[in-house]
Amino acid sequence: MRSRTWPIMKKEFIEIWRDRRSLAFVLSMPVFMLLLYGYGISSDVKRVPLAVYDRDGQPPARELVRRFTSTDYFVVTAQVGSLWELRRAIDLGVAKVGLTIPEDFSQNLGAGRPAPIQFVVDGSDSNTANIAIGNIASIGKSIELSPRDLRPHILVTPKLETPVPIELRTWVWYNPELKSSNFLVPGLTAVILMMLAAMLTSLTVAREWEQGTMEQLVATPIRVPELVLGKLLPYFGIGLLDIALAALVGTLVFGVPFRGSPALLLGLSLIFLLGAMTLGILISIKARSQVLASQVALTVTFLPAFLLSGFVFDLGNLPGWLQAISHVVPARYFVTILKGIFLKGVGLRTLAPEAGFLALFALLVTLAANRSFRKSLE
């Protein structure tokens, strides 16, 4: 088997080496996409524009504004003199959040009475609005204001409420700084590898049909599993190199921590690559056209991996039928594996269900590829 598989592998190596532009593209694409999406996609909301309507004008009011703008969360972009101007600033997009300080703010503070303030939040961007509200509440607790006093209201003075004597302490595990890159980069790695792995091998068999060399291969004594294996193995090196490049970019450029085992990452990545690349060969066998095979590979890998892997959207928020479909998306399990190894440092015992599914997927796709190839030769 080894002697018959090696010529196929050698032929694929020669094809890869001849098309050096495609090879350079495949090796550079993971780095480019990680940099593009890593910097372009972010759930971190900082320097939210703030419009201030200070009716008090006293030092305590100015200190309040300073406390909110001394962080990276808010920056004052407008000082207004009326509620109409405050609304206008939000309508024009000059500000996303408006802060109103009443004229008796300093007086109430001096007398030890509750001093309510008012926030108006632009809800047209729900993600920014929710994060801004959370930041308002977080900063408000640090300046000893009641959580009720900090709830956003749409131009309605909030009701005063006695603060509850409960001390809330929060610990965030695995990503204490809540950096979006820490969970985006591992997810992006899974999506990119799923797409590239399938696209790499989706052209192999289709190229043989288009070049008219398939008949020559069929005339040789090589068996179908040997042919599929010979087509598959040369691309494993490229896939592993892409994983190494993605890990280096994630850790060195984006500062994503790597707390797990490199050996475990390598082993589970091999299983994932086997399934993704064999899927590409299956598509290539069915399509018999390089253009069609590449288009199908892109459609059945990138979109499901991007939308149904939990990389961008919380799967629990999807409709039930989409959640059911997500269970057959390999990238869903590889995203969990990468986050577990990178951020949590967990071992195989914890990741066994995900590893088992990837192994089962690789086995089923390999069997399907072998069976489809036999039928296509009949």
47-58: pLDDT as tens digits: 889 999 999 888
What CA–CA distance (Å, rounded) separates 51 from 68? Answer: 12
Q: Pairing relation of β-strands 74-79 and 118-121?
A: unpaired
How far, rounded to the nearest angstrom, does the alpha carbon of residue 265 sit from its chain's CA centroid?
A: 18
Q: Given this model, what pLDDT does residue 373 score?
A: 75
Mean pLDDT along residues 292-310: 85
Which residue has tokens 């003075």?
Answer: 157
- Domains located in the chain, CATH noted: 8-41+179-377 (no CATH), 48-150 (3.40.1710.10)
> Which percentage of the chain shows pLDDT scores above 90?
14
Record the tokens describing residue 73, joined without a space: 């969360």
Record the tokens describing residue 371, joined without a space: 């069976």
Average pLDDT, the chain: 79
Confidence class for position 178, pLDDT limits 50, 70, 90: low
What CA–CA distance (Å, rounded) separates 69 from 126? Answer: 22
Listed range (30-39, 207-216, 325-334) with the worst mean pLDDT: 207-216
Residue 145 DSSP label = -
Q: Given this model, what pLDDT does residue 154 score?
A: 33
Q: Given this model, what pLDDT does residue 159 score?
A: 40
What is the CB neighbour count within 10 angstroms for residue 65?
17
What CA–CA distance (Å, rounded) separates 259 from 322? Answer: 32
Strand, coil or helix: what is 182?
helix
Which residue has tokens 């691309």?
Answer: 235
What is the helix (H) or strand (E) element at residue 29, kind and residue range? helix 20-40
What CA–CA distance (Å, rounded) separates 4 from 114? Answer: 84
Listed range (218-227, 229-238, 252-261, 323-332) with the worst mean pLDDT: 218-227
pLDDT for residue 36 is more than 50: yes
DSSP 50-75: EEEEESS-SHHHHHHHHHHHSSSSEE
What CA–CA distance (Å, rounded) separates 188 from 254? Answer: 12
